[in-house]
Amino acid sequence: MPAARHVWLPVTVRVAWEMVCAGVKPRPRVIAAAREHVLLSLLPEVGPSELDLVVRALARDFLARVREDRYESSQLAHLDEVQRSALEGVDAGRIVAALSPVGEALWRMHYCDGERVGQVAARSGVPLSQLHTAQAGVREIARTVIAERCEGVEAWTDARVDVALEWLANRAVPGCPGPVGLLSEAGGVHADQCPRCSRAVRLVRAGVLAPSDLFPPDPGPDLQAAKVSLLAIDLHPDAGLHRGTLARALDGLAVPVAGGSWLADPADLPAIHEAILPRARIGAPDREQLRVAVVTGRGSWKAGASLGPAALEALSAVRGQAWGELGPLPALPSPLPPPPSVRSFWMVALALVAVTVVVGKITIKPSSATGLTPLDAHFVSIDGGWDVRFDVDDLTAVEVVSYGPAGLALVPSPGDVGKAAWATGEGDFALRVPGAAVALIGDADGDLDIAALVEGLATRPDPLAALEATLAVSNDAVQFARTPIESGDPPQRLVDGE
């Protein structure tokens, strides 16, 4: 890794440039995080002539991590040693000088800034076909200039020429001034030729970077000491169904990695275990659909992302694990047996409803709001009276009223023991009552003064009906039963007829 102080300016300038090109507001905090990622990731073998190209790729890695949760290795077009040394001697200025205006736009926007040709067409308004024609011209000029330094260039594919052009377009012109010299007159002359210094001047003028941003801090960051331990969690692709719930469980504990992985601080292991445990119990996901690994490498946490190469090392390590290998994560239980199916649950529920209805009907059958056994009376007409048989709640007092020649009268029970005097020995009661009509009055509360009622109603034209009407509005504890009323044989006539 190059010393951070030596690459501070080119890295700062390029990451700021990439933020602007990507439409990211280049806040100092974001630029600092991107720079940290690049400085942590730069490999020692990166030479000064390819530094800007490599930083461009790493700055884009940073954006992919922060914006899209994508953690992938930079894909850099490969230049072999022979090609690289051949290109070292090529004067890129000679290629630029020979370009048409459209060719120059391609050089700047496509080869240098890395925009796709289609994007260049959209941004510049130059038709795509015209850009493709111009690109063929750029490659031809490049072949001619490179051929002076390198044999066999005529045989290079377009793709290889494009790699060479990208390399040349991103190479700083030797002799870049430092931050102080850059803003001098001589620095301005250099910047006209040097893509790196040209960007620096433009970014400072636009206020994206302050001149002070170009000075490395003293002492520079100690990136060798920037070690971080990372816990990587990987979810089996077959358990994609559970990715959303696991992501919610790990929210705030781990940063997501596109494709169903997470990166976390091993210090949060207990909380992570606690978050996963209830899901493992129900197999969502099953412990066999997880794998976990811990790796220590160069890296840091910033901007809600894991920076530096440690993240890729941790992801590579966890993807080399067997499924169910949970590393330092405490053991997870096997899922509980699956719950009964919803169908059988509903069958049980329906059965319970049916039982409830039947029990309810049985309970409700007495029909009385008080829950009493109803007064169940049967009247059989005999000469001059009625044989009465009845059943009623044991605690309900029963009064018998007869309607005969003497009018309405209370029938006293023998011995004044109430209905017990009429007990049949079979659980019900029976008695013979003289008169044209008979009524039974059950009084569960025992607080009705039936004798007074009978006396009060005795002179009514139809005293039994009046009694029934009076009792109907008295209270729920009172029940009433009477002998059938013969149609066309009203009680008055019974009276008259007697």
For Zn ion, the binding residues (CB under 5 A) are 172, 176, 194, 196-197
Secondary structure class of 442 (helix, strand, coil):
strand
Q: Is the dihedral of CA 380, 473, 409, 404 positive or negative?
A: negative
Please, which residue, 208 or 437, has the CB nearer to Zn ion? 208
Alpha-carbon distances of 374 from 273, 291, 386, 466, 496, rounded to whole Å: 65, 72, 21, 21, 34
Nearest to 92 by CA among 147, 10, 203, 168: 168
Q: Kindly state the smallest distance separating residue 132's Cβ from Zn ion, in Å.
A: 31
Please, which residue, 197 or 329, has the CB nearer to Zn ion? 197
Alpha-carbon distances of 408 from 284, 462, 466, 481, rounded to whole Å: 81, 10, 11, 15
> Hey, which bits of 196-247 come out as E strands?
227-235
How many helices (H) and strands (E) the chain has is answered by 19, 13
Q: Kindly state the smallest distance separating residue 195's Cβ from Zn ion, in Å.
A: 8
Please, which residue, 2 or 491, has the CB nearer to Zn ion? 2
Nearest to 287 by CA among 303, 276, 295: 276
Contacts of 52 (CB under 8 A, 6+ apart): 10, 14, 170, 171, 172, 195, 196
Task: Work out the number of other CB atoms within 10 angstroms of the CB of residue 189.
Answer: 12
- Written as one letter, the residue type at 151 is E
Secondary structure class of 298 (helix, strand, coil):
strand
Q: CA dihedral defined by 49, 53, 55, 57, rounded to 10 degrees? A: -160
Q: Kindly state the smallest distance separating residue 200's Cβ from Zn ion, in Å.
A: 8
Q: Kindly state the smallest distance separating residue 175's Cβ from Zn ion, in Å.
A: 7
Nearest to 490 by CA among 401, 370, 369, 403: 403
Q: Kindly state the smallest distance separating residue 18's Cβ from Zn ion, in Å.
A: 17
Q: Kindly state the smallest distance separating residue 221's Cβ from Zn ion, in Å.
A: 23
Q: Kindly state the smallest distance separating residue 184's Cβ from Zn ion, in Å.
A: 13
Please, which residue, 139 or 196, has the CB nearer to Zn ion? 196
Q: Kindly state the smallest distance separating residue 196's Cβ from Zn ion, in Å.
A: 5
Nearest to 50 by CA among 17, 16, 22, 78: 78
Nearest to 309 by CA among 293, 327, 325, 297: 297
Q: Kindly state the smallest distance separating residue 245's Cβ from Zn ion, in Å.
A: 52
Cα–Cα distance measured from residue 412 to residue 170, given in angstroms and rounded to the nearest whole number: 123
Cα–Cα distance measured from residue 419 to residue 429, given in angstroms and rounded to the nearest whole number: 7
Please, which residue, 196 or 298, has the CB nearer to Zn ion? 196
Please, which residue, 13 or 400, has the CB nearer to Zn ion? 13
Please, which residue, 174 or 219, has the CB nearer to Zn ion? 174
Task: Work out the number of other CB atoms within 10 angstroms of the CB of residue 462.
Answer: 18
On whether the CB atoms of residues 261 and 234 are closer than 8 A, the answer is: yes
Please, which residue, 197 or 312, has the CB nearer to Zn ion? 197
Please, which residue, 135 or 198, has the CB nearer to Zn ion? 198
Please, which residue, 194 or 314, has the CB nearer to Zn ion? 194
Please, which residue, 52 or 462, has the CB nearer to Zn ion? 52
